[in-house]
């Protein structure tokens, strides 16, 4: 008996070690993926920081222009969204903090309680001006620096100029926007459409083989993969914000706006596929019959979604594929007029709804897609 217990403990330890190793590998992959996504922006921040310091130090003659690189990095941030606003808040916040700090230090001197008073007043004034959080924070930071270092007014003016230099460099670097952030939304849209294709193919196999476990596994995958759909619209919006600062990339705007708008039909498609997969699993659990034509239609729809994914990735419109999807929706409508059980009717209905969503991903308007695949009488 003791040896059996020891063996069980060893088995549990091995299981825990295996799970820890899997989590470690997954965590490492996720971290590397985040680094790849943020890589272009990190390079921008590094180059902007160096350029801002060089301009303030070498060209303007400032001895320690520490706020020039700080302002550049803060203005660029981790995304392209709101860079103009962030840059303005940094510069105004620096000016406010330095101005209040210089004025009060002249009267009060520097010390522990003076820091509390100067920082508090600077941040309160920023709030009264209805400033954003970044401006309020920068006002407090600069006030604390002025008070603690007891810097003369001339140095305060230099710091304000340094902030202006850093903000200007940030805008110039943003204008030289690399292509990678512009391509990411389209790749996300193509990947999301491809994921719909994979899930439909799994649903087709589950329907063909009456395999509820396969349908449930596909449903679990669909729930876990929702992040790709949630990232699409923010990624497209970030890229569009970046284009506002880049006069060299404006030709990308129409395509990015189209990709951004794909997030709505793609999200609906994924929701419809999840309902379909859930019903396939329920049908197998309850022993409800499904029409034999269903798996064939699902297989064809999976192929159509895969081809649509390739078209989205290439940035082209496939009119022939659109008409094939319409034909598929029509045949599904004919199947829906037959006497079907509850699960069969739900699956056919979700299939046709997914066709409508994919037609919109392919470039049709909502009205065009609904007219092409009307409700079953």
Number of domains into which the chain is organized: 2
Q: Is 18 part of any domain?
A: no
Q: How many residues make up the chain in this entry?
A: 377
**Residue 166 domain-assigned (yes or no):** yes
Same domain, 332 and 281: yes
- Give pLDDT < 70 ranges for the chain: 1-30, 33-34, 37-38, 77-88, 91, 130-131, 134, 149-157, 174-182, 226-229, 236, 238-256, 376-377
Picking from 157, 175, 193, the residue at the C-terminal end of a domain is 175
Give this prediction's pTM: 0.60
- Residues 205 and 344 reside in one and the same domain: yes
Q: Are residues 220 and 249 part of one domain?
A: yes
- Residue 248 domain flag: yes
Per-residue pLDDT, 192: 87
Q: Does residue 118 sit in the same domain as residue 203? A: no
CA-nearest of 146, 157, 151 to 101 is 146
The reply to whether 136 and 262 lie within a common domain is no
Q: Where are the alpha helices (DSSP H) in the chain?
A: 2-54, 67-76, 83-108, 112-128, 133-149, 153-175, 180-209, 212-224, 226-244, 253-261, 263-286, 293-314, 319-336, 342-361, 366-372
152 lies in the same domain as 187: no
User: What was the pLDDT predicted at 1?
Assistant: 46
pLDDT at 201: 94
Structural domain boundaries enclosing 292 = 182-372
Residues 277 and 150 in one domain: no
Report if residue 120 sits inside a domain: yes
Quick one: 148 and 222 in the same domain? no
Please state, in angstroms and rounded to a whole number, the distance separating the CA atoms of residues 318 and 298.
Answer: 20
DSSP string, 262-328: THHHHHHHHHHHHHHHHHHHHHHHHT----THHHHHHHHHHHHHHHHHHHHHHT---HHHHHHHHHH
Same-domain status, 239 and 169 = no
CB contact set of 91 (below 8 Å; sequence gap of 6+): 71, 160, 163, 164, 167
Nearest-Å Rg of the Cα atoms of the chain is 29
**Which of 151, 175, 199 lies at the terminal end of a domain, its last residue?**
175
Same domain, 225 and 260: yes
Q: Do residues 171 and 314 both lie within one domain? A: no
Residue at a domain's end among 114, 148, 175: 175
pLDDT digits (tens, 9 = 90+) for 153-176: 455 567 778 878 888 888 777 666
Residue 253 confidence (pLDDT): 65
């Amino acid at each position: 008996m003791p040896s059996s217990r020891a063996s069980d403990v060893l088995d549990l330890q091995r299981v825990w070690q295996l799970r820890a190793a899997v989590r470690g590998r997954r965590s490492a992959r996720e971290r590397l993926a985040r680094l790849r996504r943020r890589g272009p922006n990190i390079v921008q921040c590094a180059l902007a920081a160096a350029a801002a310091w060089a301009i303030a130090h070498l060209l303007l003659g400032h001895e320690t222009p520490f706020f020039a690189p700080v302002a550049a990095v803060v203005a660029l941030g981790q995304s392209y969204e709101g860079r103009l606003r962030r840059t303005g808040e940094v510069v105004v916040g620096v000016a406010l903090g330095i101005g209040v700090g210089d004025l009060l230090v002249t009267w009060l001197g520097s010390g522990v309680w003076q820091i509390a008073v100067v920082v508090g007043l600077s941040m309160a004034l920023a709030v009264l001006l209805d400033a954003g959080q970044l401006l309020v924070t920068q006002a407090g930071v600069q006030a604390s620096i002025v008070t603690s270092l007891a810097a003369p007014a001339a140095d305060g003016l230099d710091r304000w100029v340094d902030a202006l230099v850093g903000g200007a460099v940030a805008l110039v670097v943003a204008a030289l926007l690399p292509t990678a952030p512009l391509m990411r939304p389209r790749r996300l849209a193509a990947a999301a459409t491809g994921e719909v294709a994979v899930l439909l193919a799994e649903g087709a196999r589950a329907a063909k083989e009456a395999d509820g476990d396969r349908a449930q596994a596909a449903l679990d995958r669909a729930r876990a993969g929702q992040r790709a759909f949630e990232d699409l619209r923010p990624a497209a919006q970030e890229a569009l914000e970046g284009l506002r600062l880049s006069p060299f990339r404006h030709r990308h705007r129409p395509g990015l706006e189209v990709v951004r708008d794909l997030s709505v039909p793609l999200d609906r498609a994924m929701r419809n596929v999840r309902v379909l997969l859930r019903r396939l699993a329920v049908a197998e659990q309850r022993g409800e019959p499904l029409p034999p034509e269903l798996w064939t239609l699902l297989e064809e729809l999976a192929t159509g979604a895969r081809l649509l994914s390739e078209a989205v990735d290439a940035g082209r419109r496939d009119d022939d594929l659109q008409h094939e999807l319409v034909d598929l929706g029509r045949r599904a409508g004919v199947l829906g007029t037959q006497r079907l059980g509850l699960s069969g009717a739900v699956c056919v209905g979700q299939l046709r709804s997914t066709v409508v969503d994919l037609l919109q991903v392919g470039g049709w308007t909502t009205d065009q897609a609904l007219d092409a695949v009307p409700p079953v009488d």
